[in-house]
A = this chain, B = another copy of it.
Amino acid sequence: MTSPLRIAIAGLGTVGTGVVRMIQTHGELIAQRAGRPVEIVAVSARSKDKARDVDLSAYAWEDDAAALAQRADVDLVVEVIGGTSGPARDAVEQSLANGKHVVTANKALLAEGGHALAKAAEAAGVALRFEAAVAGGIPIVKALTEGLAGNQITRVMGVMNGTCNYILTTMEHTGAAYADVLADAQKLGYAEADPSFDVGGIDAAQKLAILSSIAFGTEVDFDGVKVEGIERVSLMDIEQAAEMGYRVKLLGVARMNGAALEQRMQPCLVPATSPIGQLESVTNMVVVEGDFIGQTVYQGPGAGEGPTASAILGDIIDVARGLMIPAFGQPATNLVKAERAETGLGAAYYLRLTLEDAPGVLARVADALGRQGISINQMRQNAHEAGTAPVLIVTHPCGRIALDKALEEIAAHKTSLDQPVALRIEQV
């Protein structure tokens, strides 16, 4: 097997040019490790004329990404265009249909249609690989699909959006407000002009849905992820959490509750001394727990040209070596459509209520909680501006449904001046 693996690259943004650069830099090293050369034969992007700092002159050019799928001289197509429709989807679907292996970083496409794509790859007898789609450079898809394959996975957790972790840790370290740190992150290039995909938790939830499928043998179910963003986390929440020995993280958790799959992506309080609690800045972390292995932790850069290219090259080298594993670790027809867990196991919650500063207000809150069977572990009312009283409550463990009922009632009180904030306290 010394004939080259011939690849085409669809998309020449940061990631695409990173893949070109990595292959140009390490061609010999890659050939030694893969057992055969990896050769770029063709590329495609929206604009041929755009200035790029890699030399593309040796490669054929296609204006249409899907045309790469038609080329007889291509064995594998790397899709790094992004998006769930148009050229990205066309390139992936047509490559699989034409018997080309596909390596993609496209988490949105996989979260939406991963199961169908896996079926298409298996029908064609080709590989569909996506290490770069989850937690950037960390080889977590490989760890879960292969290294830990003998285990019943019991829980997968992760901090998988660097923008959110940067914002939350920077708020803590600088004492700046959410909006100010977000604006800075946008200037630094850590956050998009429209940040909703990141701060709203969607990006991280897509990654979690992909990992869940591998971990639990279920069809990818992105719509089944309960998603909350970090937009309403305030500096006060972060400071209060720190005082109690916690840090606030946008945390994804997936596990089976009996036959039902629980998938959550939400800001949580986690112990400050835990590996997740210690995570700083844009770094990503995934925690995988299995019945024989116990807990393993994986940390690394979650984005960027080099790390993403590294993940894509890992996949390409796997294919070059002849590794053929179903996309989600077992044949797509084996994957079951899991029912959705309506709620997670009970947990303690941190609550922040903004109440009118008037007699009897607190009693009504305590009463609303009590009628849902929720008991209060700590309650604190800090110094406040005249007229409003931010009240902080830590509950004893309770169910989310009961909590939501109580919070709905509290929010309807005339004395509630803002929607309550509820952050789950997760023992990680």
Residues of A bordering B, CB below 8 Å = 18, 22, 25-26, 29-30, 32-35, 131, 137-139, 142-143, 146-152, 217, 275, 278, 290-301, 304, 306-307, 309-314, 316-318, 321-326, 329-331, 334
Contact = CB atoms under 8 A, between A and B. Distances in A.
Max count, chain B CB within 10 A of own CB: residue among A278, A323, A331, A334: A323
Given A26-B152, A149-B314, A295 B306 contact: no
B137 A294 contact: yes
A1 to B, nearest CB: 10
Given A22-B150, A329-B33, A292 B314 contact: no
B292 A147 contact: no
A324 B321 CA distance: 8
Nearest to A142: B147
Nearest to A334: B32
A51 to B, nearest CB: 22
Nearest to A316: B150
A154 to B, nearest CB: 12
B298 A26 contact: no
Given A294-B137, A297-B300, A300-B293, A313 B26 contact: no
A294 B298 contact: no
B150 A139 contact: no
Given A150-B316, A330-B33, A138 B296 contact: yes
Q: Is the interface of A mostly helix, strand, loop or mixed?
A: mixed
5 contacts: A35-B326, A142-B146, A147-B311, A296-B300, A322-B322
A294 B311 CA distance: 12
B142 A143 contact: yes
A281 B152 CA distance: 25
A298 B297 contact: yes
B307 A301 contact: no
**Which of A139, A314, A317 has the most C-beta atoms of chain B within 10 angstroms of its own C-beta?**
A139
A295 B323 CA distance: 26
Given A22-B150, A150-B26, A316-B150, A330 B300 contact: no
Find the residue from A22, A143, A304, A326 having the highest chain B CB count within 10 A. A143
Given A32-B330, A307-B293, A146 B314 contact: yes
A138 B152 CA distance: 16
Contact of A150 (B298, B317, B323): B317
Given A26-B150, A150-B313, A317-B146, A301 B294 contact: yes
Contacts of A138: 296
A296 B32 contact: no
Contacts of A292: 18, 22, 137, 306-307, 309-310, 313
A80 to B, nearest CB: 15
Given A150-B313, A293-B310, 14 more contacts: A22-B150, A30-B149, A137-B292, A139-B143, A139-B296, A147-B314, A150-B309, A275-B278, A291-B306, A292-B313, A296-B298, A296-B299, A321-B324, A323-B323
Contacts of A309: 150, 292
B29 A137 contact: no
A309 B149 CA distance: 11
A293 B33 contact: no
Shortest 9 CB-CB contacts between residues of A and residues of B: A139-B147, A150-B313, A296-B300, A297-B299, A292-B306, A293-B310, A292-B310, A137-B293, A149-B317
Contacts of A297: 297-300
Contacts of A329: 33
Contacts of A299: 275, 296-299
Nearest to A19: B150
A119 to B, nearest CB: 16
